[in-house]
Amino acid sequence: NELPTRENINYFSVDLSERENVSNFCDTIIEKYGGISIIVNNAGITEDNLFMRMTDNAWDKVFAINLDASMIICRKFIRGMIKNRWGRIINIASIYGREYGGSAPYMAAKAALIAATKHTAINLAKTGVTANCIAPGSIKHEKGSWEKFVNNNNEATVNNFIEKNLPMGDFGYPEAVGDTVSFLASENSKMILGTCLNVDGGQSNSLF
């Protein structure tokens, strides 16, 4: 297939915290293009606060974006994938959805995303459609939690975190996650089903 260029990529802005907006967006894509064959649910937010201080609105928003929107998108497009006998669902979870770390709603939402993906994968096993998760660790990205952590701590604290928790000696990088997405979206991944792949440089083995 022809590789995407700036000329044949379309962008849409959607408020993923509102279920109706997500559903309407999917309907628009189906009406305009007939459906899609690859889903990558990558949007996510966290709410850094103690569990006992967490507001209902903050909790709901984390679940809406990290879990609900992904499941709505999957449900909307799965029928077309099954009809075509081919499709790829790739949900971006987190190592904190598998072990302790991060805020309560973030951990719970990512854990639920992993569980829902596994369930979906088994249900789709004979259809030619696969569903898997990727669980990144601490990724170096200027708009992510990495930047917030670095900016809010002194150099000694950051270096101590790296030495204690990151066996490779540095934070991960977005390209590593992107390469894993590309593999799971390819025909070469057809035997991988209901898996959650850690892309964390061994962080999950050291942090927990």
Nearest CA to 89 out of 205, 208, 199, 195 is that of: 195
Give the Cα separation of 176 and 161 in Å (integer). 21
136 with 200: CB under 8 angstroms?
yes
Of the candidates 11, 96, 100, 106, the residue annotated as catalytic is 106
DSSP code string of 15-54? -TTSHHHHHHHHHHHHHHHS--SEEEE-------S-GGG-
- Distance of alpha carbon 192 from the chain centroid: 17
62 with 48: CB under 8 angstroms?
no
Residue type, 66: N
Is position 100 annotated as part of the catalytic site?
Answer: no
Structure tokens at 15: 């408020």
Q: How many CB atoms lie under 10 A from the CB of residue 54? A: 16
Q: Which residues are catalytic?
A: 106
